[in-house]
Structure 1
C-alpha cells in the first residue's frame, strides 16, 4: 500500500474528492429542481404560455374571435 502511494497512484488522489463534490452538486441540483415542482416545468410552462398568448392575439387580429371573447380569454391566460 505504501509503495502505491509513493508511486504513480498519488497523482490520482484528487479523483475521488472531485467525484464526491461533483456528485454532491448533481444531487443538490436535482433536489432543488424537484422542490420547485418538476424537471422542466417552469421553462415549458413559460414557453407554452407565450405561445398561447401569441395564438390568442393572432386569432383576434384575423377576426376569428370578437373583442368580448378576446377579453375573456385574456382574463384566463394573462
Structure 2
C-alpha cells in the first residue's frame, strides 16, 4: 500500500513539476517571438555592407596616397 502511494505521489510530483516548467515557456525571453523574422532584411544588410566596404576602400586609397607622398618626400631628402 505504501509502495503504491509513493508511486502515485512521485507521478503527481513529476506532473506538477513539468507543468510548472512548461508554463513559463511563453513568458520568458527564451521563447521564440511570434511573427517576427529572426534576422533583418538580407538585401538591406547586403547594401549596407557594400556601402561600408566602398568607404573602407576610399579611405585605404587616401591612406596609400599619403604614405606614398611621405615615402617620396623622405627619399628626396636623402
Q: Same fold (TM over 0.5)?
A: no
TM-score normalised to structure 2 length: 0.40
Q: TM-score, normalised by structure 1?
A: 0.40
More helix by share: 1
